[in-house]
Amino acid sequence: MSGPLPDPFAGQPDWAPLAPRPIEIVPATRRVELRGRRVLVGLPGLGWRGDLRADEQVVQGSRTYVPVIPEHEWYRAESDQVEVFAPLIPVERVWVETLGERPSPGAAVREQGIRLVSLDEPAHRTPTPVFEADTVSGRRVVHVEDSVEHRDLRAVTEAYSGADGDICVRVAPELEWYRWAWRGQPPTTLEVPVHLLWIE
């Protein structure tokens, strides 16, 4: 077989899970709530850095800045109630992750292959079914169950054959994922069939 595998959810029959809402990325200059939100920082034409969280804007003189913290430090600060260093980034260099609208069941299928983007702003990401990914461990995932989206999860394993014969991935709450790094405390995990998981 030389071509791509057929999409088992093509046409979205009743038994197929709905895709989660996609992440849309908007400039922080829009009046959006920033505290605790995932953000990207960078410059048009240069590139973008993610896995960051923001605090509320601050004004110094005539400039507006956003305190930006690496995500693992943000979780540690929130969990252990400690102060962490947050560099101030000019608001025009900060973009905020928001949730877009859920695609309709008959929406266009994801394009395969290389997708070209503009360097003027961070690219919007389309949720990818875990069964289409080559690796998943450590990635942000969304567990969609009965049209309810469970977010802020990280995949802890690659796909494996579960006890009931389902192909599964173990996931953990993101706080526990990061706590595993800074305390060495293994996370509580949940076994989820791959057809209910999407890479965010």
Confidence of residue 169 (pLDDT cuts 50, 70, 90): very high
Full DSSP string of 86-134: --EEEGGGEEEEEE-PPPPTTPPPPPPS-----SSSPPPB--EEGGG-S
* The pLDDT of residue 114: 80
Q: Which of 27, 25, 152, 23 is nearest to 89 (CA)?
A: 27
The mean-pLDDT minimum among 105-109, 145-149, 155-159 falls in 105-109
The mean-pLDDT minimum among 16-20, 27-31, 107-111, 115-119 falls in 107-111
Q: Which of 169, 134, 177, 140 is nearest to 50 (CA)?
A: 140
% pLDDT > 70, the chain = 87
Q: How far apart are the first and last CA of the chain?
A: 30
Q: Which of 34, 86, 25 is nearest to 57 (CA)?
A: 34
Q: Which of 45, 56, 50 is nearest to 25 (CA)?
A: 50
For the record, the structure tokens of 89 come out as 């980034």
Kindly tell me if the per-residue pLDDT of 22 is higher than 60.
Answer: yes
Kindly tell me if the per-residue pLDDT of 160 is higher than 90.
Answer: yes
3-class DSSP state of 19: coil
Confidence of residue 105 (pLDDT cuts 50, 70, 90): low
Q: Read off the pLDDT of each residue in 130-138 and give the average, rounded to a whole number.
A: 92
Full DSSP string of 43-89: ETTTEEEEEEEE---EEETTEEEEEEEEHHHHHHHHHHT------EE
For the record, the structure tokens of 143 come out as 């567990």
Torsion, CA 85, CA 90, CA 93, CA 99, rounded to 10: 70
pTM of the predicted structure, to 2 decimals: 0.82
